[in-house]
Amino acid sequence: MILISCPDCGPRDETEFHYGGQAHVPYPEDPSALSDEEWGRYLFYRENTKGIFAERWVHSAGCRKWFNVLRDTVTYRIAAVYRNGEPRPSLDGDPQ
């Protein structure tokens, strides 16, 4: 069980949340202009990061708002929580 700090509600148990996969995947500007392969890449292709990963969570049992989390996929340690629309915060030792 991990403890996730909702930006609006504070720390709550993981059971109050649902996972939303990789964050910062932009919706295509003009979906109808995409080839089937490009659309397929948008829908189904995601990073499989070992380490700090930017991902979406929704506080489904609380305020029902989506937000972003930087989580280490190896240790499960949460390095940062930030609101939807905010840029990905940079961390010390962040490889990018």
Binding site for Zn ion (CB under 5 A): 6, 8-9, 59, 62-63
In a 3-state reduction of DSSP, which class is residue 64? coil
Is residue 62 near other proteins by the rule CB under 8 A? Answer: yes
Q: Of 37, 44, 48, 64, which lies in the binding site for other proteins, with binding defined by CB under 8 A?
A: 64
- Among other proteins, Zn ion, none, the one that 47 touches (CB under a kind-dependent 5 to 8 A) is none
Side-chain-facing half-sphere of 86: CA atoms under 13 Å = 17
- Among Zn ion, other proteins, none, the one that 64 touches (CB under a kind-dependent 5 to 8 A) is other proteins
Angle at 12 between CA 11 and CA 18, to 5 degrees: 125
Looking only at residues 16 through 35 of this chain, which bind other proteins when binding is defined by CB under 8 A? Answer: 16
Which residues are within 8 A (CB) of 32 and not within 5 positions of it... i.e. 6 or more apart? none
Q: What is the DSSP letter of 44?
A: H
Is residue 85 near other proteins by the rule CB under 8 A? Answer: no
Q: Of 2, 25, 61, 74, which lies in the binding site for other proteins, with binding defined by CB under 8 A?
A: 61
